[in-house]
Structure 1
Amino acid sequence: MKIFTALQIREADAYTIKHTPISSLALMEKAALACTDWLAEQHFTKYPFAVFCGMGNNGGDGLAITRMLRNMGCDAHAYIIPHSQQASEDHQANYKSLQRYYPESLHTLQTFPQLAKDTVIIDAILGTGLNRPAEGLIADTISRINSCYEQHTIIAIDIPSGLLTDTSSVNQPSVQAHHTLSFELPKLAFLLPENAVRIGEVHILPIGLHPDYIARTPAKFNITDGAMMRDLYKPRKPFSHKGTFGHVLLIAGSYGKMGAAILSAKSCLQAGVGLLTCHIPKCGYDIMQISVPAAMCITDEQFDHSSSFPSEEEAKKYKTIGIGPGLGTAAGSIWALDKLLDHYRQPMVIDADALNLLSTNPKTFAKVPENSILTPHPKEFERLFGKTDNDIARLELLSQKAVERRLCILLKGRYTAMASPDGELYFNATGNPGMATGGSGDVLTGIITSLVAQGYSSRDAMLLGVYIHGLAGDFAAAALSQEAMTAEDIPAYLGRTFLTLHKNQ
């Protein structure tokens, strides 16, 4: 699913108007009707409404919504904020229509109205055309709306007023909404952690934008979905054998952190790898053999409490190496990792303490093979690449480093961002807050490493791995609740995720 810029959204509207028998005013009517239908479906129409309207097309949406709510018998009032000398043409048309049928519902905002206890606030002040911070009367109105957050439900139309679509809105005034009703495609602003408290729950409503424009127009950002994953998925062939699906070496675990190695090993197997060998410390040998009997184990007598690293000859046997879960940063580990990277040149999956080791030694980091997959959380990313001022800058840095270093890098989060060496950037929408628990990242490392060994490209293994990891978490949450689920539950639901990838599902 594509994420369009504010400019592309306007172009999509214009293309639709030009290539279909629909006017801009009729398209606005469809958007307003979609919002009004949603309000009715959610049973908001039993409450009074205060609709705050700017003087552009977003305000026109608000005026049309007010008229439609009135048509349904609702107590709805539109408050126009006179922030401009001239309203847009479609705004004027909807103003005249509302004035004709329900003149008592029209108000020019001079002072903020006294709202009845159950009043629903509709924010239709500013839309996606905003390119500078809100100020003056608009900023004051935004502040007053936000002061109502605890007492009233606030619903933003298209985007919370004051929020910038494609750039950071940190320290800028914007409406804090409980719900955002947007149209056709999600916006980049909805995927940024810095905007979480502003957008509330986002609902994307179809309004019939022309499919040809959407299909033909490239987007800098995309969201992975089931259709894309089914195209990436490789069904197994009848005469396959365990050698067909690769041999993984998982370097993981240390004293007190063998659970991370276990979780990663189990998920690697559940994701379909043919063979798995775990290179672990001697102290974890019995734990691994009992907990994951399908995994082979290698230990080093010199490393009782932390994982050692394979020799050059041993490393050549493996299709890929996953390294990091529970590894620790014991003395000598960076030296061992440096030697491993001297002779292993296949793409690897690097996580957790292995990333922390790389962040302390740039020369070793420079040896990481091209197309390797790095899986940092935000703090690990910061240690690797430096701080940024906002989420947009961090996304730009993520993409830049993936291209510069020829790596696949995923930045974990609610909408995990994934960058590939060709400059593409994707977001993942599966997953839930129940996965915010220790060990979830170790599971992800095992899944992605398994997919690389099975012959998926690094990019496809990253995209598919993150998607099925989140979907398995969604299945676990549905069965167990977000509160009760643990990282150990995620691999148990991987089978269900693979069944959804079959094209006949």
Structure 2
Amino acid sequence: MKIFTSAQIRELDKYTIEHEPIKSIDLMERAAHTFTRVIAEKWPTIYPVVVFAGPGNNGGDALAVARMLTDMGYQVQTFLFNITGSLSADCAENKQRLISKKGFSLFTEVTQEFDPPKLEKGMLVVDGLFGAGLNRPLAGGFASLVKYINASQADIVSLDVPSGLMTEDNTYNVRANIIRANMTLTLQQPKLSFLFAEHQQFLGEVRILDIRLSQEAISKLDATYRIVEESNVRQLLRDRDAFAHKGTMGHALIIAGSYGMAGAAVLTSKACMRSGAGKATIHTPKRNAMILQTAVPEAILHMDREETTFSEAVATEDFQALGIGPGIGTTEQTSIAMIAQLRRAQCPVVIDADALNILATRRAWLQQLPKGAILTPHPKELERLEGQCVDSYERLSKARQLAERIGGYVVLKGHYTAICMPEGHVVFNPTGNAGMATAGSGDVLTGILTGLLARGYTPQEATVLGVYLHGLAGDLAAKELGEESLIASDIIRYLPKAFLRLKG
């Protein structure tokens, strides 16, 4: 699913109007009918409704909704804010349609002073002040109105976007001046800002409503951001040749686990083998030998010369993928061995955890990473690499820049994990749940990605498929075990079910 910018949304509306063809006022009527249907399903007619409409097309939507709710028997009080004396053409038309209607509810056009209505529990506020076109923080009277609405106990439904929230960059927005909706009814596609953690407080329940905008235009428009869909992921899956053997299914090298962190190596290598790799070799300090031989009998052990740390690079000619970083520590000796390993890597690479922390303290080494490398930072690891960020949008922007700079892939982990591609595009992953916020979950992802690379998937295919599988396995585990008790090894246990789900 594509995620469009506010400028592209206007372009999409325009294309639909010109090519359906349909008048803009009739497209607005179509949207209003869709809004009204969902509102009526959620809030019965016993709810008194207060509609706040702005001077633009979002206000036009709200005025049309007020008219339709009145027709359905709701008690509706409508306030149209026309401070500058200038309404959009469709907003002005819907104003006339509302006030010329027999038996219409209370209507007030606010041009100067405003005496706000009393908002109480058991009432519904329809927020149609400002929509997707907003490009600056609310201030003055509108900011005061937003604060007044938020302070009430009334339910709030926002049309398309909560007023005050911008569709992409809210880095310098004033959060106190954004509507906190109980439900957001957005048109056609989610907005980029809806995917960021700090904005969930404004959105409430999000419903994406199809108003039949031009599918031709949607397919033609290039989108920087997308949300991956299961149908996309299914197409990536490769069949296993009936005559395959372990030598043809890929050999992965896992470098993980200092002494005391053998669990990281266990989780990574188990996930790697559960992802279809024919063989996995674990390079780890000597003292981890017994743990790993017992916990992962299917893997091959390659012991470091040191007892407790990773200290020497391994030849990679015989491997199809390398996963490095989980639990290796950040000592000077390990750091030097890590960059030496990456310099001599002759296969696709996944870089995670302590390997990222080492790079964060030696940023010049980023230039030495092999092309197509996959980095899997969580937000704090990304900030160690690229500097502190004010919000999720800035963090995403820095992850994109990093991916372009290194010519590789940055998997920025989170609720909607963002896969940043080297050419600048971003794919968001929809699977996963809060139960996966547990130690070792990232090690499992590293193992999955390494296993898929070993199987022969390209870095782009491996990141999209691997992140989706990781989240899907977590969802299947949470469905049976609950989120609260989910641990990283459960994700590995449910990987087979995730593969089966995708294979249909």
Q: TM-score, normalising length from structure 2? A: 0.94
Could you say which residue in structure 2 is the equivalent of 1:355? 356
* Structure 2 Cα separation of the partners of residues 392 and 363 of structure 1: 25
| 1:347 CA drift (Å) | 2.2
User: Partner amino acid for 2:188?
Assistant: E
Three-state SS of the structure 2 residue aligned to 1:264 is: helix
Three-state SS of the structure 2 residue aligned to 1:332 is: helix
User: Partner amino acid for 2:356?
Assistant: L
Could you say which residue in structure 1 is the equivalent of 2:486? 485
Of 160, 180, 184 in structure 2, the residue corresponding to residue 180 of structure 1 is 184
Of 138, 142, 167 in structure 2, the residue corresponding to residue 138 of structure 1 is 142
Structure 1: segments with no counterpart, 5+ residues: none
Kept in 2, the 8 Å contact 1:222–1:427? The answer is: yes
Kept in 1, the 8 Å contact 2:70–2:104? The answer is: no
Query: CA 1:101/1:490 → structure 2, altered by over 3 Å: closer, same or farther?
Result: farther
User: Partner amino acid for 2:12?
Assistant: A
* Structure 1 Cα separation of the partners of residues 84 and 193 of structure 2: 25
Could you say which residue in structure 2 is the equivalent of 1:373? 374
Root mean square deviation of aligned Cα: 1.8
Kept in 1, the 8 Å contact 2:58–2:131? The answer is: yes
User: Partner amino acid for 1:306?
Assistant: T
| 1:16 CA drift (Å) | 1.0
Kept in 1, the 8 Å contact 2:47–2:122? The answer is: yes
| 1:43 CA drift (Å) | 4.5
Structure 2: segments with no counterpart, 5+ residues: none
Kept in 2, the 8 Å contact 1:415–1:427? The answer is: yes
Could you say which residue in structure 2 is the equivalent of 1:304? 307
User: Partner amino acid for 1:490?
Assistant: I
Could you say which residue in structure 1 is the equivalent of 2:256? 252
Per-residue CA deviations over 1:52-81 (Å, capped at 9, x if unaligned) read 111111111111222222222223322222
Write out aligned runs for 1:39-54 (5 A).
Answer: 39-43=39-43, 45-54=45-54
Could you say which residue in structure 1 is the equivalent of 2:433? 432
Three-state SS of the structure 2 residue aligned to 1:103 is: coil
* Structure 2 Cα separation of the partners of residues 121 and 283 of structure 1: 64
User: Partner amino acid for 2:287?
Assistant: C
Per-residue CA deviations over 1:190-233 (Å, capped at 9, x if unaligned) read 12233232223321110100100001111111111112112222
Write out aligned runs for 1:134-173 (5 A).
Answer: 134-148=138-152, 151-172=153-174, 173=177
* Structure 2 Cα separation of the partners of residues 393 and 363 of structure 1: 22
Query: CA 1:42/1:372 → structure 2, altered by over 3 Å: closer, same or farther?
Result: same
Three-state SS of the structure 2 residue aligned to 1:262 is: helix
* Structure 2 Cα separation of the partners of residues 279 and 9 of structure 1: 51
Could you say which residue in structure 1 is the equivalent of 2:124? 120
Could you say which residue in structure 2 is the equivalent of 1:201? 205
* Structure 2 Cα separation of the partners of residues 356 and 137 of structure 1: 47
* Structure 2 Cα separation of the partners of residues 370 and 98 of structure 1: 61
**Are 2:331 and 1:327 equivalent residues in the alignment?**
no
| 1:260 CA drift (Å) | 2.0
Could you say which residue in structure 2 is the equivalent of 1:290? 294
Query: CA 1:11/1:236 → structure 2, altered by over 3 Å: closer, same or farther?
Result: same
Query: CA 1:499/1:43 → structure 2, altered by over 3 Å: closer, same or farther?
Result: farther
Per-residue CA deviations over 1:30-66 (Å, capped at 9, x if unaligned) read 2122222222333455422222111111111111222
| 1:92 CA drift (Å) | 2.0
Three-state SS of the structure 1 residue aligned to 2:247 is: helix
* Structure 2 Cα separation of the partners of residues 283 and 156 of structure 1: 59
Per-residue CA deviations over 1:438-489 (Å, capped at 9, x if unaligned) read 1111111111111111111111111111111111111122222222222221
254-263 vs 472-481, which moves further: 254-263
Kept in 1, the 8 Å contact 2:186–2:208? The answer is: yes
Q: TM-score, normalising length from structure 1? A: 0.94
Three-state SS of the structure 2 residue aligned to 1:52 is: strand
| 1:82 CA drift (Å) | 2.7
* Structure 2 Cα separation of the partners of residues 429 and 411 of structure 1: 13
Write out aligned runs for 1:398-409 (5 A).
Answer: 398-409=399-410
* Structure 2 Cα separation of the partners of residues 414 and 464 of structure 1: 16
Three-state SS of the structure 2 residue aligned to 1:322 is: strand
**Are 2:450 and 1:446 equivalent residues in the alignment?**
no
User: Partner amino acid for 1:414?
Assistant: H
Query: CA 1:46/1:284 → structure 2, altered by over 3 Å: closer, same or farther?
Result: farther
Per-residue CA deviations over 1:224-269 (Å, capped at 9, x if unaligned) read 1112112222222222222222111111112332222222122111
Three-state SS of the structure 1 residue aligned to 2:52 is: strand
**Are 2:319 and 1:318 equivalent residues in the alignment?**
yes
* Structure 2 Cα separation of the partners of residues 294 and 170 of structure 1: 52
Could you say which residue in structure 2 is the equivalent of 1:243? 247
Q: How high is the sequence identity, in percent, across the aligned residues?
A: 44
| 1:101 CA drift (Å) | 3.4
Per-residue CA deviations over 1:107-165 (Å, capped at 9, x if unaligned) read 345122112321122211001111222222211111111222xx232221101111111
Kept in 2, the 8 Å contact 1:39–1:45? The answer is: no
Could you say which residue in structure 1 is the equivalent of 2:339? 338
* Structure 2 Cα separation of the partners of residues 364 and 129 of structure 1: 42
404-413 vs 95-104, which moves further: 95-104
